[in-house]
Structure 1
Amino acid sequence: MRVGLTGGIATGKSTVSRMLRNRGAAIVDADQVAREVVEPHTPGWRRIRERFGDQILLPDGFLDRKALRNVVFRDARARRDLNEILHPLIRERMMEKAEMLEKEKPERIIVFDIPLLYESGLTRWVRKVIVVYVPESVQIRRLMEREGIGEEEALRMIRAQIPIEEKKRMADCLIDNSGSLEETERQVDQLWKCLISESGFGPQ
């Protein structure tokens, strides 16, 4: 059984992903895969270097992700170019990982942890979509605190994605992460029981 996990920037998706992993889910993490496909001297790395130049490289040759992010959040064309390079590579690697996990243990729940699940049109991959939600005001505050940035930059980053209220409306399952960790854990417990029941696999 494949399900999708998404949200908005600074909604706490990684926290929920970790909770699901602790309960037995197999996680295919788009962010992790995105790092793998741009390791130095890979095809993805070479194409990004050709497009954006050496200013987005660290001294050891790895991508300076913050520098690259600063470029693409300010320039819609640059963001499209980066996505055109990365998305096919990431999708191919994610499917390879999912198929390998299913071969190892067919009776398992696989969670595709994809920040831009809706934006990338990948809902066709999964039976259900879980959205991790906080109000935009909480997103802004958390992002400012996490990144040490001002409100204007935080808003620009948030609004480069589909609004979280729209994702909330599209969700099959919703985790409201605006309260305490204990409240989120309780919601994840309930969600996990539902996923187990629907999958028919029994305890993971």
Structure 2
Amino acid sequence: MKIGLTGGIASGKSTVADYLKELGATVLDADKIAHRLMEPQQKAWRKVVEYFGEEILLPNKQINRNKLGEIIFNNPSAKEKLDQLTHPIIIKEIKERLKELEEKKKIIIVEVPLLIEAGMIELFEEIWLVYLPKELQIERLMARNDFDYQTAVTRVESQMPLAEKRAFADLIINNNVTEKELKKELKQLWNKINLNN
């Protein structure tokens, strides 16, 4: 069974993924795959540097994420272009990794922040959404990244709202709770899917 785990910035996806790992789940992290493909001279890196120019690079040829972030967060068409350049390469890699793992594992969870936006729904039998109210998402992002309120709002609003993502989800993981309550819910969920698979 292939499960796509998604959410929004500061919604708690990684917390959920880490705890599922502790419980014994096989978890693929799409962000880590993307970061690897954005390393110097990798496929996605070449496409991005070709388009955005070498001024987005640090002296060691790594992409300066802050600089690229500033460009795309203030320019929707640049963000769209970045997605067009990188998503096909990342999706291809995820498909290959899933194929390898399917032979060995019954349940595979893939943590993908932009699962819905990138059109990856058909890769999974179930979509799990980590959900919390927008104001709490903004608060958590401010605390996590030391952002001021306006910066946090801009980042949250640059993504598809979690309320809209609910329509695509087979299961909602409510993260408007304490860590203890969240862990309890995830343990019950993991036990249940293990029984059924």
* TM-score bracket for this pair, using the shorter chain length: over 0.9
- SS in structure 1 at match of 2:28: strand
Residues in 1 aligned to 2:78 and 2:23: alpha-carbon distance in whole angstroms:
39
Deviation at 1:98, TM superposition (A): 1.1
Structure 1 residues 87-96 or 156-165, which shifts more?
156-165
2:136 to 135, 138, 158: 138
Partner of 1:98: 98
Partner of 1:147: 145
Matched ranges for 1:37-56 at <5 A: 37-56=37-56
Residues in 1 aligned to 2:94 and 2:15: alpha-carbon distance in whole angstroms:
20
Q: CA RMSD in A?
A: 1.4
- SS in structure 2 at match of 1:83: helix
Residues in 2 aligned to 1:167 and 1:196: alpha-carbon distance in whole angstroms:
25
Q: Structure 1: 5+ residue runs without aligned partners?
A: 200-204
Deviation at 1:146, TM superposition (A): 1.8
How many residues are matched? 197
Residues in 2 aligned to 1:72 and 1:129: alpha-carbon distance in whole angstroms:
27
One-letter code aligned to 1:96? E
Deviation at 1:166, TM superposition (A): 1.9
Residues in 1 aligned to 2:167 and 2:122: alpha-carbon distance in whole angstroms:
17
Instruction: Encode CA deviations 1:74-118: one digit per residue, 9 max, x unaligned.
Output: 101100110011101101111111111123x1x421011100111
Tell me if 1:58 matches 2:24: no
One-letter code aligned to 2:146? G
Matched ranges for 1:43-192 at <5 A: 43-103=43-103, 105=104, 107-192=105-190
Deviation at 1:187, TM superposition (A): 1.0
Deviation at 1:194, TM superposition (A): 2.3
- SS in structure 2 at match of 1:11: coil
Deviation at 1:58, TM superposition (A): 1.8
Once the two structures are aligned, what percentage of the paired residues are identical? Answer: 37
- SS in structure 1 at match of 2:110: strand
Instruction: Encode CA deviations 1:144-196: one digit per residue, 9 max, x unaligned.
Output: 12222222221221112211112234321121112221111011112112221
- SS in structure 2 at match of 1:27: strand
Residues in 1 aligned to 2:35 and 2:107: alpha-carbon distance in whole angstroms:
24
The answer (yes or no) to whether the contact 1:8–1:164 under 8 Å persists in 2 is yes
TM-score by length of 1: 0.91
One-letter code aligned to 1:56? I
